[in-house]
Structure 1
């Protein structure tokens, strides 16, 4: 199987609970780079209270990791809950006020690191031992300007289609591979399984529509990061009428006009869509592997029930290709707060999470390790489906490297609500990209 040391398309670890790895909007501090490198000299302080802004979708394994660090270090971790449903916007809003935690759980996408101006607001972790163990992952997750500002011990989020096995069997269908399949399956499902939403969307959470409206469709276009590179070097524009991005939005809009979505598509939430596919009220949901933990929770921890009910496949424009991005769950930064004692203690947490505490975390979380030299535990069946989809050639989500894509959540929701056309959304996203790219060069 692939490993993280091969190429930027490295092996994904599948996390047990979470939300989509969506890009956050720009708007963090614009301070000049601090140039601060993580301090690892001398014994770490004890009796320190560290605030950790964490996603409420953190798995029990992550919560237990925090407790294990407290026991080992003599320090206290004060969790500041950031709701999973509004995670990106909440962090951005708090960050914009100048508030800073001692440890930040946050997205690893480069665009997200740039949105908080990682080079100017975070400690450089490049010299810590975990970086070598992450291999190529360290050049993708939390990486800006060739430096690594984040430790990623959780999973990469693998996006594709979750489908209900019983609903598909009743309709006599095989899992989809392409967007033409999605459209054809929608027609059959509407005829043979009335009352079941062919595709369940969650516009009420804003970020979920991004996955089906673009990320999945474009997976095949971004092999070896071909499409995002063409945007970054100016050879293509998101707004190109005959380009892949507009084609993706158009394909999504056709699913909407064909009546493939649930009636409450603009108000339903992420939690609703995962429960719907588990219960058979939806045939398909476009989501990422982070959501498997929510499925398990909805099944009261009965993973056998989840595995029997739900499958996962990669889907893109014309072939079965999944896409991935660093998950915020288990990805940690150390903000530069000016409190040297707390900064040293926060770095000590990073060293523990990627060192002495890592193997126990992986064993409890039952995920594929992101750090080399750690045994892979037995995986849940649905996670094995996700891994299979990844191993078949998953590509880096095209938005991961494109600044300004944090605005896509609201824009894709407008497309879902028929408030903007595909071309209008594409034109606005091109403008957002150009503005963010210009700001990043200042």
Structure 2
């Protein structure tokens, strides 16, 4: 299978070479200093309290990394929990009020970076040593205008299909490879396992329906960012009736009309869908690899139980292709708050997380490193499935470089609820894209 040159280069550096892959209102006014470089000279201050807006899905290893930094530095990290099931909307709402943390855990893809105007609001981290160790990943994650504004230490977020092995075995099914397989498996499961939801959706959290309604389907179309380029160059529109985006939404809507989803699809949450596939109440869930931590937690830390129960494969329109993006879990920005002491301490945290504290974090997290120089630990079986799907030719998630896709969560949820048609959703997303692209040029 052909592999994206850019993806291959990233993985060779960030994964395959075994050393890869809020508030209570902290920190000051909205920054106006575009591209302000992070200060690294002189000793970092001690006794500083840093507010960190963090995703509640952070792994124990990340939480322990924060504690390790406190012990090493003499500074305090005040965690402000951002609920995982509403993470994007909650951060953006808080951000819009002018509230700022000292450290922000946030998505690395360009769409979400632009949504917070990182060039004006974050410190430029391009000269920090981790950028060299991230290699091509630094050009993708937290990167705008050729500058790197984020450090990514969490594993890459790979999206595909989680499936319950026992349910599939009992129904005599093999894991799906494409959307025709999903439809056929749905039909078989409805006949042979009527008490099991063939596909479990979580419209109550808004963002999960994006994965099956578009991201997975379009993986094969975005090899070497081809589909992204066609949209950005104006050669294609998201609203093209015969285009890949409308085809993705249409395929998703057919699954809905065929009764493939759970009865509470519009109200169920992300946590519900992962628990359902683990317990065999759902045969399949379209999600990303960040969710493995939740599966492990649902199994009370028994990773052997998770590995025995759940598998992972990549799927796209016609081929077994996964899609990936920098994960928000373990991707950190330093907002420009105007408080030079806190900014310097926040940069010190970045240097620790990507330096002295990194090896211990990777060892505890048992994930594929994103920085060179670290040894890949023994991986959980389900994560080995994810790595295999990535190795087979995963492509960068098509929304990563298209502005305006912060609105897709609510729109895909409307499609799930039959409140809008595929074409209506596509028309709206094209309008959002044009608005965001125009604003980015101002």
TM-score (structure 1 length as normaliser): 0.94
Offset at 1:116?
Answer: 0.6
Whether 2:176 is the aligned partner of 1:176: answer yes
Inter-partner Cα distance in structure 2 for 1:63 and 1:274: 22
Distance, in Å, in 1 between the alignment partners of 2:176 and 2:143 is 34
| Residue of structure 2 equivalent to 1:232 | 232
Q: CA deviation at 1:99?
A: 0.7
User: Which residue number corresponds to residue 343 of structure 2?
Assistant: 343
CA distance in 2, matches of 1:235, 1:228: 10
Aligned residue for 1:437, secondary structure, equals helix
> 1:11–1:390: 8 Å Cα contact kept in structure 2?
no
| Rounded Cα–Cα distance in structure 2 between residues aligned with 1:386 and 1:117 | 32
- 1:111/1:389 CA distance change after superposition, 3 Å: same
* 2:9 paired residue among 7, 11, 34: 7
Q: Secondary structure at the match of 1:375?
A: coil
Q: Over residues 177-234 of structure 1, what are the superposed CA-to-partner deviations in whole Å (9 max), with x where a residue is unaligned? A: 0100000000000000111000000000000000000000000000000001100000
C-alpha deviations, 1:53-89, integer Å up to 9, x for none?
Answer: 1111111000100000011001111111111111111
Are 2:31 and 2:336, in contact at CA under 8 Å, matched by a contact in 1?
no
Preserved CA contact (<8 Å) 1:30 1:117: no
CA separation in 2, counterparts of 1:200 and 1:90? 24
Matched, 1:250 2:250: yes
- Deviation (angstroms), 1:4: 9.2
For residue 272 of structure 1, report the CA deviation from its aligned partner.
0.4
Residue 161 of structure 1 corresponds to 161
Q: What CA distance in whole angstroms lies between the structure 1 residues aligned with 2:348 and 2:5?
A: 27
Matches within 5 A, 1:41-80: 41-80=41-80
Give me the whole-angstrom Cα distance separating, in 1, the residues matched to 2:40 and 2:426: 46
Does the CA contact (< 8 Å) of 2:13 and 2:134 recur in 1?
Answer: no
Q: Runs of 5+ in structure 2 lacking a partner?
A: 17-28
Tell me which residue corresponds to 1:412: 412
Aligned position for 2:279: 279
* Alignment length (residue pairs): 428
Q: Which residue of 1 aligns with 2:269?
A: 269
**1:15-414 alignment runs, 5 A limit:** 33-414=33-414
2:434 aligned with 1:434, yes or no? yes
Partner Cα separation in structure 1 for residue 7 and residue 106 of structure 2? 23
* Other structure's SS at 1:7 match: helix
Whether contact under 8 Å (2:14, 2:135) holds in the other structure is no
Over 3 Å counting, the alpha-carbon distance change for 1:282 and 1:244 in structure 2 is same
Q: Which runs of 5+ in 1 are unaligned?
A: 15-28
CA deviation vs aligned residue, 1:301-354 (integer Å, no higher than 9, x gap): 111010000000000000100000011100000000000011000000000000
Spell out, residue by residue over 1:358-416, the C-alpha distance to the aligned partner (whole angstroms, 9 max, x if none).
00000000001100011000000000000000000000000000000010000000000
SS at structure 1 position matched to 2:9: coil
- SS of residue matched to 1:168: helix
Name the CA shift for 1:110/1:302 in 2 (closer, same or farther; >3 Å).
Answer: same
Does the 8 Å CA contact 2:215/2:397 hold for their aligned counterparts?
Answer: yes
Q: CA RMSD in A?
A: 1.8
Distance across 2 between alignment mates of 1:395 and 1:112: 18
Q: CA deviation at 1:155?
A: 1.5
Assess if the C-alpha contact under 8 Å between 1:5 and 1:134 holds in 2. Answer: no
The CA deviation string for residues 65-121 of structure 1, in whole angstroms up to 9 with x for no partner, is 000001100111111111111111111111111111110000001111111110000
Q: 2-side partners of 1:156 and 1:35: how far apart?
A: 26
Residue 36 of structure 1: how far off its partner (Å): 1.2
Q: 1:5 and 1:240 mapped to 2: Cα distance?
A: 27
User: 2:395 & 2:251 partners in 1: Cα distance?
Assistant: 20
* Distance across 1 between alignment mates of 2:343 and 2:6: 28
Contact 2:133 2:372 in 1 (8 A): yes
| Distance in 1, Cα, partners of 2:242 & 2:5 | 36
* Aligned partners of 2:30 and 2:336 also within 8 Å: no
Distance 1:280 1:89, change over 3 A: same
- Match of 1:65, SS? helix
- In structure 2, how many angstroms separate the alpha carbons of the residues matched to 1:11 and 1:385? 20
Bigger CA drift: 295-304 or 30-39? 30-39
Contact 1:4/1:134 (CA < 8 Å) preserved in 2?
A: no
Structure 1 residues 4 and 233, CA, compared in 2 at 3 Å: closer, same or farther? closer
**Counterparts of 1:66 and 1:4 in 2: how far apart (Å)?**
32
User: In the TM superposition, what is the alpha-carbon distance from 1:30 to its structure 2 partner?
Assistant: 8.9
Secondary structure of the equivalent of 1:264?
coil
Contact 1:202 1:272 in 2 (8 A): yes
